[in-house]
Structure 1
């Protein structure tokens, strides 16, 4: 096999390669039920695609999460894109992205056109219930991943330290630092330790050649540096919109809420949308399933520069996701080679333990601190957790239970 040929070796003990339609329908279901933001999405992915469908192992999944946390862009969408790529090639990656993103994007465009969503007792109660479900989903992910990825005292200690760092240094800085330190700890402490629960190294190969990787990284650099110049020279509104949203997606680590100040500078301070429109849309996207980056579709619809409407939404949405995917595709072929090194496996054991700690920290803040505000919400979260862990209900069913429970709490005035 040459360096330019894709390596499609799949992980041990996981299902064989699947079809594009299989990927599309799996992610479409996730796209309409995955509430709670990027950390919760990782929990949904693990439960459905790793634990139930067995598309990859827990270790391979945690490796992928750690890699995407290092890269700019929406981490959960990058993880989904990579899982689609691994499962069904390039078309599988596109199918995963479209299926997971379009439900939220369509709802945000509808909201931009004036749809009054999530108002009144029912709407507010539904939003509350969905936030509580996210707590249970992430708790389930932390529980399951901790059993696999922190089976000994050393890695459990790495996870605890990572959680403390992530809590003390809020935002993407703390998360990246926790993973870096966890990786270094793994390099020192975990060189001779076997990968728990696996009969081999559990490597996951992605069908991307080095040539494609280099082209992808080159395209990222050319667009990032060249688009501002091209937009300024031509004065084209569509290019200006594309440039603004591409830079926002390229320069933000952690995704989701972290992109807020970049988008605000790009569309509010320039006068493309009003502050009131911006805040209304950002509030609405919290109630949507799927990635928070679909906020771009709302802003592109309303922007006074560029085509606006549905076409403006498509331009903004494509631009904000594209840099993260270009970087991911550019890194994956080199990741394929690095995974085989003994030192890299030790490094990733520490990084995986740190990912468990970061998820645990996110379970507390912001999920628990913002969603559990009294005995009523705590009781609902506990019930949802039991339904997931003991009754083994699928997440979409627990979402329905949580939404109904949230409406009931709102109607009773209980929290």
Structure 2
């Protein structure tokens, strides 16, 4: 590598770190809201990917187990600057909330912040952000009646059958319908997105993913080391979750509360803290690890629960272009992309809208934030600050 290319690579990594850290400090509202923040920052403003490639990446990460928004961020970082870019993107987006939750665990466990007004304001911010994302993605991904019907099916199915596997089932059925409806479709303008990962490395990541999934429980049984048991529990939770951070919470509770590793009260206090910080809800693991074993436990838990996301993203991205440029696969992806719109709308309604818009003033405030974001085109951090301040003030009304 020449000196010029080294400087270019370092510049790209620093750019990714700065942008992802800004998102990590301001992205409230859960995985669906995060996709809206990503879309606004990476696609609308910086144009690091085109709309179609971003939608396909979102569809792929929705299909994979693990934290979808974090996986999308890793994928964008990989596209921008290789494997290091994916790691740097993850660090920037994740570590602000990891650090905050470890501090909460060590210092602020007894503070009741779950019902604070400013947290409610941040939930209303998520309503505005997700509404913006839904409108933009629906316009691009459901332009005809067939794809609107697929999105409607996904919306109804996701709302009426809320299980851990519903989202995967909806995506699979939508892929089949898309394959049948659009298998002759070929888009010559479908861009090739280059991911600098070899297929050999990708296969190694997939083998490692499944090996750890099956070997860690065995190591846990034959070893008395506490950290192996912790790593196994967090790794397994991160490997088997479809549907985002809220789904992983009951898994983690079953892993650690009945066994006596932490109390139900400590678990619920951490959940309240997790709602107060930006970034992926999977960083709740950092709080749990810190409660059980200090800051080292927090870092171990974070590494364990996010490791499956890295292995799956690195293991699937190199095969993405060849699959998505196949006309039959493209038809399936068209169905999946339409389904993602329906899933986004369902998630917008529940839990985002239903948990945030409780009284008329909440809806009025959401409309103001939406206008600030969409029509006045103010930066997202201003929307976040306005939401937090407004939520605090509304407690006095």
TM (normalized to structure 1)?
0.90
Displacement after TM superposition at 1:57 (Å): 1.3
Which residue of structure 2 lines up, in the alignment, with residue 42 of structure 1? 35
2:135 to 107, 121, 143: 143
Which residue of structure 2 lines up, in the alignment, with residue 169 of structure 1? 161
1:393 to 378, 381, 387: 378
Which residue of structure 2 lines up, in the alignment, with residue 207 of structure 1? 196
After TM superposition, the structure 1 stretch with the greater mean CA deviation from structure 2, 129-138 or 201-210, is 201-210
The answer as to whether partners of 1:81 and 1:96 remain within 8 angstroms in 2 is: yes
Runs of 5+ consecutive residues of structure 1 not aligned to the other structure: 1-15
Whole-angstrom distance in 2 between the partners of 1:203 and 1:273? 48
1:353 to 335, 338, 343: 338
The answer as to whether partners of 1:118 and 1:287 remain within 8 angstroms in 2 is: no
Whole-angstrom distance in 2 between the partners of 1:215 and 1:120? 43
Greater helix content: 2
How much is the aligned-residue C-alpha RMSD, in angstroms? 1.9
Whole-angstrom distance in 1 between the partners of 2:146 and 2:217? 48
The answer as to whether partners of 1:18 and 1:88 remain within 8 angstroms in 2 is: no
Displacement after TM superposition at 1:118 (Å): 7.3
Which residue of structure 1 lines up, in the alignment, with residue 62 of structure 2? 69
The answer as to whether partners of 2:112 and 2:269 remain within 8 angstroms in 1 is: no
Which residue of structure 2 lines up, in the alignment, with residue 6 of structure 1? none
Establish whether residue 270 from structure 1 lines up as the match of residue 259 from structure 2.
yes
The answer as to whether partners of 1:68 and 1:75 remain within 8 angstroms in 2 is: yes
Runs of 5+ consecutive residues of structure 2 not aligned to the other structure: 1-8
The answer as to whether partners of 1:171 and 1:258 remain within 8 angstroms in 2 is: no
Establish whether residue 234 from structure 1 lines up as the match of residue 226 from structure 2.
no
Whole-angstrom distance in 1 between the partners of 2:192 and 2:387? 36
1:318 to 288, 303, 306: 303
Whole-angstrom distance in 2 between the partners of 1:244 and 1:343? 39
Establish whether residue 342 from structure 1 lines up as the match of residue 342 from structure 2.
no
1:76-120 Cα shifts (integer Å, max 9, x gaps)? 111111111111111110111111111111111111112269757
Establish whether residue 78 from structure 1 lines up as the match of residue 71 from structure 2.
yes
The answer as to whether partners of 1:167 and 1:174 remain within 8 angstroms in 2 is: no
Aligned with 1:272: secondary structure? coil
The answer as to whether partners of 1:171 and 1:254 remain within 8 angstroms in 2 is: no
Change (3 A) 1:221 1:120: closer
1:343-381 Cα shifts (integer Å, max 9, x gaps)? 111111111111011101111111111100111100011
1:238-286 Cα shifts (integer Å, max 9, x gaps)? 1111111111111111220111121112111111111110111012101
Which residue of structure 2 lines up, in the alignment, with residue 108 of structure 1? 101
After TM superposition, the structure 1 stretch with the greater mean CA deviation from structure 2, 138-147 or 226-235, is 226-235
Whole-angstrom distance in 2 between the partners of 1:181 and 1:146? 19
Which residue of structure 2 lines up, in the alignment, with residue 367 of structure 1? 352
The answer as to whether partners of 2:110 and 2:269 remain within 8 angstroms in 1 is: no
1:217-250 Cα shifts (integer Å, max 9, x gaps)? 1111221222222233231111111111111111
2:49 to 39, 46, 56: 56
TM (normalized to structure 2)?
0.94
Task: Write out aligned runs for 1:184-223 (5 A).
Answer: 184-192=176-184, 200-223=189-212
1:33 to 26, 29, 37: 26
Whole-angstrom distance in 1 between the partners of 2:10 and 2:148? 33
The answer as to whether partners of 2:186 and 2:327 remain within 8 angstroms in 1 is: no
Displacement after TM superposition at 1:206 (Å): 1.8
Whole-angstrom distance in 2 between the partners of 1:226 and 1:309? 26
Aligned with 2:209: secondary structure? helix
